[in-house]
Amino acid sequence: MDTRTRLILVLIAPLLLLIGTVANPGAEAADFRVMVHPGSEMFAPQELTIRVGDRVTWVNDSRTDYFVTSSGPMTRRTTVATDDLVMNIVLHPGTVYTRSFKKPGTYHYFCAGHMDMWGAVIVKENLIVNE
For 22, the 3-state DSSP assignment is helix
Give the strands of the sheet with 31-36, arranged side by side: 31-36, 55-60, 96-100
Among the listed residues 29, 35, 32, 31, the one whose alpha carbon sits nearest the alpha carbon of residue 95: 35
The number of distinct structural domains making up the chain is: 1
pTM of the full structure: 0.68
Determine, yes or no, domain membership for 46: yes
Q: Give the range of the structural domain holding residue 47, as residue numbers without chain letter.
A: 31-124
Q: Which pLDDT tens digits describe the chain residue by residue (131 residues)?
A: 666 655 454 445 444 444 443 333 456 889 999 999 998 889 999 999 999 999 999 999 999 999 988 865 554 444 444 445 667 889 999 999 999 999 998 888 999 888 789 999 999 997 665 54
Among the listed residues 57, 55, 41, 59, the one whose alpha carbon sits nearest the alpha carbon of residue 102: 55
Determine, yes or no, domain membership for 70: yes
> With contact defined as beta carbons under 8 Å apart, do 111 and 66 qualify?
yes
Q: CATH number of the domain at 80, please.
A: 2.60.40.420
> With contact defined as beta carbons under 8 Å apart, do 101 and 52 qualify?
yes
